[in-house]
Amino acid sequence: MNYPLSLSFKIAALAPQIYVRDASGTELLYVKQKLLKLKDKINVFADSGQTRQLYEINADRVIDFNARFTFTDTAGKVLGAVRRQGGRSLWKASYEILSADDRPVALIQEENPWVKVLDGLLSEIPFVGLITGYILNPKYLITESATQRPILRVTKSKAFLESKFAIERLEGSMDEREETAVLLSILIMVLHERRRG
């Protein structure tokens, strides 16, 4: 993939819509989450035209405190999964990324939980909430499970009336299947953590 990637969605939209683009601006993925679903089932498309579905993400339970989200391709083949580490995620977001054979691949962890707490609190105050997206920008580090080497960093970017995240490559190597699982895990993490700030 052509890094850095950008991930964006409109804050005012009723149903979350996420656009993932590469460094040249080419759309890589598009997600539109359905409203009022008791159990998450998310279709991931190649672009916002929704003409070609690439992946499906399914939650294993209704309440997502320790939910596991499994990624499959259009043929139903499992590509991997991500599991929110509920207890750890109360204070500091933590997600474990798994391979298709349930082997730990990587870990997503919030770098500074205070930034997200302040962002969440201040964004609820009228007028002040409009500028928090310029001041407070949480960061998440993705590290390889085996070596603890940092592979990617996800940073909330300065934005007005939308949320934007930059995904930058750090070091380490991933095969294509692992890279897909990591990117889909980042989508899940952003969908869930945006509710907290």
pLDDT at 87: 57
pLDDT bucket at 130, cuts 50 / 70 / 90: low
Q: Which carries the bigger pLDDT value, residue 152 or residue 171?
A: 152
pLDDT at 1: 84
Instruction: Check pLDDT > 80 for residue 91.
Output: no
Query: What is the average pLDDT value for the chain, to the nearest integer?
Result: 82
pLDDT at 13: 61
CATH 2.40.160 fits 5-196, yes or no: yes
| Extents of the domains making up the chain | 5-196
* Average pLDDT rounded to a whole number, residues 112-135: 68
pLDDT at 38: 46
DSSP string, the chain: --SSEEEEEESS-SS-EEEEE-TT--EEEEEEPPTT-SS-EEEEESSTT--SEEEEEEESSSS-SS-EEEEEETT--EEEEEEE-HHHHTTS-EEEEEETTS-EEEEEEES-HHHHHHHHHHTTSTTHHHHHHHH---EEEEEETTT--EEEEEEEEP-SSEEEEEEEE-S----HHHHHHHHHHHHHHHHHHGGG-
